[in-house]
Amino acid sequence: GESVGLHLPTLSVQEGDNSIINCAYSNSASDYFIWYKQESGKGPQFIIDIRSNMDKRQGQRVTVLLNKTVKHLSLQIAATQPGDSAVYFCAENKNYGGSQGNLIFGKGTKLSVKP
Amino acid sequence: KAGVTQTPRYLIKTRGQQVTLSCSPISGHRSVSWYQQTPGQGLQFLFEYFSETQRNKGNFPGRFSGRQFSNSRSEMNVSTLELGDSALYLCASSMSDRGIAGYTFGSGTRLTVV
């Protein structure tokens, strides 16, 4: 069936290094992708999004790359800080601008930042 | 401004009982979505409401239901609770005219079924 999955369940990086979190998706009809960050005891927090007509989008210290050829999404975090420690989810949506509620989430990658 | 408020934060119920969870969206937000989060299945979409109408529904049994009131507050109900219903239930609200990025999640209700 259609699903969004993650390559690695855990990722440990040194403070100050760059982090790369990967995500694979299987539904070529998806036209909108989002990265969320979830800290312990909190709900998911929006980080950055990208539409399928783009292959790269940058935010503050974060970059999302979309490779539609291999159905791969990645989140790059520059100069990773201890506050970045959290679980990161990718999510896809097939109807941008329409019924936005039906997000399909990946399983999540736990990022741990070592001081 | 206040965020998305979910009550209660924690709940323990016995198998076979029913439960009602509440979500108060951000003021002005008209769309509310519900998700179930478990370690095994991750985040799964339950349903979405907009202007008191269910606009979208996930693949959950009929024991899971919801509604939205005229003030946009939403409730979800689970009847005949099963052990597998133990999960974090998350609510997210949006003005609905800003796409997914406009969705703000609450901190969730942790439901434990014993």
For A3-23, how does the pLDDT look when each residue is reduced to its tens digit (9 = 90+)?
454 445 899 999 999 999 999
Instruction: Say yes or no to pLDDT of B34 above 60.
Output: yes
Structure tokens at B66: 């919801």
E strand or H helix at A33: strand A32-38
Sign of torsion over alpha carbons B55, A35, B59, B25: negative
A48 → chain B, closest CA residue:
B101
Measure CB to CB from residue B42 to each of A34, A96, A107 and give the nearest one: A107
pLDDT for A3 equals: 46
Contact A77, A11 (CB under 8 A): no
Instruction: Say yes or no to pLDDT of B103 above 60.
Output: yes
What is the average pLDDT score of chain A?
A: 87
A108 → chain B, closest CA residue:
B42
The residue with greater pLDDT, A24 or A5, is: A24
User: Mean pLDDT, to the nearest integer, of A81-102?
Assistant: 80
Task: Say if the Cβ atoms of A93 and B100 lie within 8 Å.
Answer: yes
Closest CA to A105 of A13, A19, A43, A12: A43
Measure CB to CB from residue B108 to each of A43, A107, A108 and give the nearest one: A43
Sheet-wide strand order for B5-7: B5-7, B19-24, B74-78, B64-68
User: Mean pLDDT, to the nearest integer, of B49-76?
Assistant: 94
pLDDT for A7 equals: 45
Residue type, A52: S
Instruction: Say yes or no to pLDDT of B88 above 60.
Output: yes
User: Mean pLDDT, to the nearest integer, of A21-39?
Assistant: 89
pLDDT for B43 equals: 92
What letter does residue B4 receive in the DSSP assignment? -
User: Mean pLDDT, to the nearest integer, of A62-71?
Assistant: 95
pLDDT for A6 equals: 41
Please, which residues have CB within 8 angstroms of residue A98's CB and are 6 or more apart in sequence?
Answer: none
pLDDT for B15 equals: 98
Tell whether B39 lies on the interface with A, counting CB pairs under 8 A.
no
Instruction: Say yes or no to pLDDT of A34 above 50.
Output: yes
Q: Which residues of A touch B4 (CB under 8 A)?
A: 43
User: Mean pLDDT, to the nearest integer, of B54-74?
Assistant: 94
The DSSP bridge pattern shows strands A32-38 and A45-51 to be antiparallel
Query: Of A98-112, B34-48, B90-104, where does mean pLDDT reach its minimum?
Result: B90-104
Sign of torsion over alpha carbons A100, A106, A110, A113: negative
